[in-house]
Amino acid sequence: MATPPRTFGDLLASAVNEPGILSTAYRAFHNYSLGNQLLAFVQCQQRGIAPGPIATFAKWRELGRYVRKGEKAITLCRPITVKRTSTADDGTEETTAATWFVYKPFWFVLAQTDGQPLTEPEIPAWDRDRALTTVGITEIPFDLTNGNVMGFARFREIAVSPLNPFGHKTRFHELAHVLLGHTAEGARADDERTPRNLQECEAEAVALICCAALGLPGVEECRGYIQRWWGTGNDIPERSAQRILKAADQILKAGTDNEIEAVR
């Protein structure tokens, strides 16, 4: 099994702190999950390969292109479903399935191939209404009188202040609170709740990813917000990094008609 180039926590930290990574990775690899976009981008960067569309050896042949001899494959994360059959005391059998995520070096970038010209697909535009409908979240009128509050999330509802200069950033932030389960955590036991500072860090990291990927303003404001809540030099936990990338994926893909490749 191939070794992953970096943890998702490391990848997320680079994406948050280094301008340009997210937008470049999203443009080049938008058909894939954000985690795989960053994995592919980092490997291209390390090996001096121009980022671009990626496919397996067989898929490139279908497209009339051929991987050049000696090219090293890109490693991505992919799911593998494992089925297990157990026998109960009464002799009945039960089959269960579990999904494992493994790293495999099966993909090559366009720059590693030769052959027929390739028409690169356009990146689909992101639509707010489509995204809200797809994830089942309702945006309601902003009804708070506190002028310092720019948005909020309640259960599966969000609201953005009409006075907010970065309404799109706050919308992503509040959507993240819902998708990450923060608005439902009031019913959980105290020791199971995500600490407030980590909640805010997770939600704002999602907002940063979405703004950067879509080329929207507010990325620097996101960085400042994360630093205020999480501090500087503190690592984002690996589990949180995975949750952040998954939530950002949901938001970005929900607002388009684009599907994530099964490789994730």
> pLDDT tens, 5-16?
568 888 888 887
Same domain, 102 and 149: no
Same domain, 78 and 155: no
- The answer as to whether 123 is a domain residue is no
Quote the crossing angle between the two packed helices 8-17 and 196-214, to the nearest 10°.
60
Taking the complete model, does pTM exceed 0.95, yes or no? no
- The answer as to whether 207 is a domain residue is yes
Q: Which two tokens stand for residue 176?
A: 């993240």
Out of 23-27, 31-35, 154-158, 191-195, which region has the weakest mean confidence (pLDDT)?
191-195
Same domain, 24 and 88: yes
Last residue of one domain, picked from the residues 54, 84, 115: 115
Q: Which two tokens stand for residue 120?
A: 């690169």
Same domain, 249 and 132: yes
Report yes or no: 104 and 2 within 8 Å, Cβ to Cβ.
Answer: yes
Statement: residue 258 has pLDDT above 90: no
- The answer as to whether 2 is a domain residue is no
Q: What total of structural domains would you count in the chain? A: 2
What domain range is 242 assigned to? 128-254
Same domain, 147 and 108: no
DSSP 3-state assignment of 245? helix
- The answer as to whether 122 is a domain residue is no
Out of 9-18, 99-108, 137-146, which region has the weakest mean confidence (pLDDT)?
9-18
Residue 82, judged by CB atoms within 10 A of its CB (0-12, 13-18, 19+), counts as: exposed
Last residue of one domain, picked from the residues 51, 86, 115: 115
Q: Which residues contact 98 (CB under 8 A, 6 or more apart)?
A: 81, 82, 84
Give the integer Cα–Cα distance in Å for 47 and 77: 19
Same domain, 47 and 151: no
Same domain, 214 and 242: yes
- Among residues 30, 65, 28, 71, the alpha carbon closest in space to that of 47 is found at 71
- The answer as to whether 72 is a domain residue is yes
Same domain, 40 and 75: yes
Last residue of one domain, picked from the residues 115, 137, 159: 115
HSE (side-chain half, CA atoms, 13 Å) at 65: 21
- The answer as to whether 263 is a domain residue is no
Average pLDDT over residues 170-197: 75
Q: Which residue has the tokens 């995204």?
A: 131
At 206, the pLDDT band (50, 70, 90 cuts) reads very high
Residue 130, judged by CB atoms within 10 A of its CB (0-12, 13-18, 19+), counts as: middle
The helix or strand, by DSSP H or E, that contains position 93, with its residue range, turns out to be strand 93-109
Statement: residue 244 has pLDDT above 60: yes
Give the integer Cα–Cα distance in Å for 189 and 86: 34
Q: Which residues pair with 139 in a beta bridge?
A: 158
